[in-house]
């Protein structure tokens, strides 16, 4: 392991929620919860103000509403989050060629590989500068951990939250880890934690005291050996710049179970097209088509079919997904559908026979003009048409007279909008008919004014209020 804390872990502070607070002055310092707002939605991110009430990520949204009924509930704006994430990742790549993104808001950086740090002092300077640059470029804050290994750097960033920086000095790791819960170690989830607790082990120090043989007896050789090494602060995992994508997939969860077989077919076709769009955007193709179906009773079925060669042709993926669906009983209702492609390659070897079959079937459908083909087309196209005029809570709008704002809520033929921007201060609220021709969907505004001097993007508590 290294002798200097030159591995950096960055975790943006409550990324989604803090971005929403930065964009919406009226929400700064208030409880904000971002996620799916339907009956089956879950919390993606919540602000620290919401956590006071016991709300946390992955919690069912219905439970969050009971705990924090007066919080602001918003639908995610992934386009904005990806744009901010790209800005942050560019800053990280200026520090080192070895950047390992874990998600939109989290990454490891090998400062030594970028010759930006070689001891504690230089690592501290790099970490402080990074935090200042992130605030200047995005208007948000991130917490930084510095240590001699990835595991410890991540633990340090957790300790730094919110909006801080923590260094774990080499030589102090075991004393730091000893009193911590076993759940702090990578690979220890609820099930493993319960298993260890039944064996009389609840802290990292107790893992070290138990010894490797006892860990192997409890967890098996591979897991036991790895966990014992981590309890001794041994973690030789390198920062890996590129991770191989194993699959590309999309899925939708429905607020109301789908019973109509024609609607199910249409949804699968729509998901297949979306999956291919992602596949092509990543310049990939794949051989194995995967269908995922979660039924009314929460049972989940997965079916797959492997083609003779990789493809990124939407007709081929649609045809394979449709064949897989025929083998699944959906009569009781469907609550989730997903389509994925695995066995990826960075080239396309067309399956000409499959394409020919798909083209023939599509042509036959057009010639027949039957009732079922029209219903399938309607099922595929209808969601896209509805989305254009849906007023989603938290999303951006523009009014011809009042300018830029965001949707506070809608229902009963009305939509309520608060008119404000990241730089305006709290704005006024107005209500309109949902079909008001003066109101239209808008693109998110940047959180930092273009050309503003460093530090101008700071927006009060916006960076401190969310998922860590």
Mean pLDDT over 400-425 rounds to: 94
Q: What is the pLDDT of residue 451?
A: 58
Alpha-carbon gap, residue 106 to 199, rounded angstroms: 33
> First and final CA of the chain: distance in angstroms?
27
**Neighbour order of strands in the sheet with 300-311:** 247-258, 334-345, 285-295, 300-311
* Range of weakest confidence among 170-184, 344-358, 373-387: 373-387
Angle at 165 between CA 163 and CA 171, to 5 degrees: 155
Q: Which residue has the tokens 């969860």?
A: 253
Whether pLDDT at 392 is above 80? yes
Q: Which is more confidently placed, 388 or 85?
A: 85
Q: Are the CB atoms for 289 and 321 separated by under 8 Å? A: yes
Does the structure show a pLDDT above 70 at 362?
A: no
Instruction: Specify the higher pLDDT residue, 134 or 253.
Output: 134
> Would the pLDDT of 347 be above 90?
no
pLDDT of 281 higher than 90: no
Give the H or E element holding residue 408. Answer: strand 403-411
Give the span between the Cα atoms of 154 and 147, in whole angstroms.
8
Distance of alpha carbon 435 from the chain centroid: 32
Token output for 296: 């009314």
Q: Between 243 and 254, whose confidence is greater?
A: 254
Residue 244, pLDDT score: 65
Evaluate the CA torsion angle 11, 17, 23, 24 in order and state its sign: negative
Catalytic residue among 49, 106, 267, 467: 106
Query: 188 pLDDT band (50/70/90 cuts)?
Result: confident
pLDDT tens digit sequence for 28-86: 999 999 998 887 788 999 999 999 999 998 899 999 999 999 999 999 998 899 999 99
Q: Fill in the DSSP letter of residue 181.
A: B
Residue burial 12-27, b: 16+ Cβ < 10 Å; e: rest: bbbbbbbbbbbbbbbb
The confidence band for 449, taking pLDDT boundaries of 50, 70 and 90, is: confident
Dist. CA 464–CA 468, nearest whole Å: 9
pLDDT band for position 352 (cuts 50, 70, 90):
very low
Q: What is the mean pLDDT of the chain?
A: 85
Q: pLDDT tens digits, residue range 3-21?
A: 999 999 999 999 999 999 9
- Count other C-beta atoms under 10 Å from residue 415's C-beta: 23
Mean pLDDT lowest for which of 44-58, 267-281, 289-303, 343-357? 343-357
Model pLDDT, residue 389: 64
pLDDT in tens, 305-333: 998 888 888 999 999 999 999 989 998 89
User: Is 106 a residue of the active site?
Assistant: yes
Cis peptide before 184 (omega within 30 of 0): no
Q: Cα 35–39–45 angle (5° rounding)? A: 15
């Amino acid at each position: 392991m290294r002798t200097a804390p030159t591995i950096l872990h960055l975790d943006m502070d409550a990324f989604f929620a803090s971005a929403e607070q930065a964009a919406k002055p009226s929400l700064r310092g208030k409880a904000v919860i971002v996620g799916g707002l339907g009956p089956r939605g879950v919390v993606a991110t919540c602000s620290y103000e919401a956590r006071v009430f016991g709300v946390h990520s992955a919690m069912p949204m219905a439970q969050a509403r009971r705990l924090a009924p007066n919080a602001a509930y918003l639908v995610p704006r992934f386009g904005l989050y990806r744009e901010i994430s790209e800005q942050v990742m560019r800053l990280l790549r200026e520090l080192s060629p070895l950047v390992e993104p874990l998600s939109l808001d989290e990454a490891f950086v090998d400062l030594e590989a970028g010759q930006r740090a070689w001891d504690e002092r230089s690592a501290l300077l790099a970490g402080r500068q990074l935090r200042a640059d992130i605030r200047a470029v995005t208007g948000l804050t991130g917490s930084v951990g510095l240590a001699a290994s990835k595991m410890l750097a991540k633990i340090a960033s957790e300790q730094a939250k919110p909006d801080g920086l923590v260094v774990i000095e080499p030589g102090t790791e075991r004393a730091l880890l000893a009193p911590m819960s076993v759940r702090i170690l990578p690979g220890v989830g609820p099930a493993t934690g319960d298993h260890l607790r039944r064996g009389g082990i609840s802290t990292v120090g107790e893992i070290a005291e138990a010894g490797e043989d006892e860990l192997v007896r409890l967890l098996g050789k591979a897991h036991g050996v790895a966990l014992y090494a981590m309890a001794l602060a041994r973690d030789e995992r390198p920062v890996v710049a590129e991770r191989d994508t194993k699959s590309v997939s999309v899925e939708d969860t429905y607020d109301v179970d789908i019973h109509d077989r024609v609607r199910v077919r249409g949804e699968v076709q729509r998901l297949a097209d979306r999956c291919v769009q992602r596949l092509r955007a990543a310049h990939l193709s794949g051989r194995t088509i995967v269908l995922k179906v979660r039924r009314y009773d929460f049972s989940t079925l997965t079916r797959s079919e492997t083609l003779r060669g990789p493809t990124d042709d939407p007709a081929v993926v649609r045809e394979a997904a449709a064949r897989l669906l025929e083998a699944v009983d959906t009569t009781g209702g469907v609550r989730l559908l997903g389509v994925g492609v695995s066995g990826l390659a960075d080239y396309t070897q067309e399956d000409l026979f499959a394409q020919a079959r798909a083209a023939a079937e599509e042509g036959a459908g057009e010639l027949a003009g039957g009732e079922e083909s029209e219903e399938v087309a309607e099922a595929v196209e209808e969601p896209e048409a509805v989305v254009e005029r849906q007023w989603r809570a938290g999303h951006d709008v523009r009014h011809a007279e009042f300018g830029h704002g965001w949707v506070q809520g809608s229902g009963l033929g009305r939509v309520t909008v608060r008119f404000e921007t990241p730089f305006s201060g709290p704005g006024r609220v107005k209500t309109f008919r949902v079909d008001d021709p003066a109101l239209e969907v808008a693109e998110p505004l940047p959180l930092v004014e273009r050309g503003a001097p460093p530090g101008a993007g700071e927006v009060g508590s916006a960076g401190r209020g969310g998922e860590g």
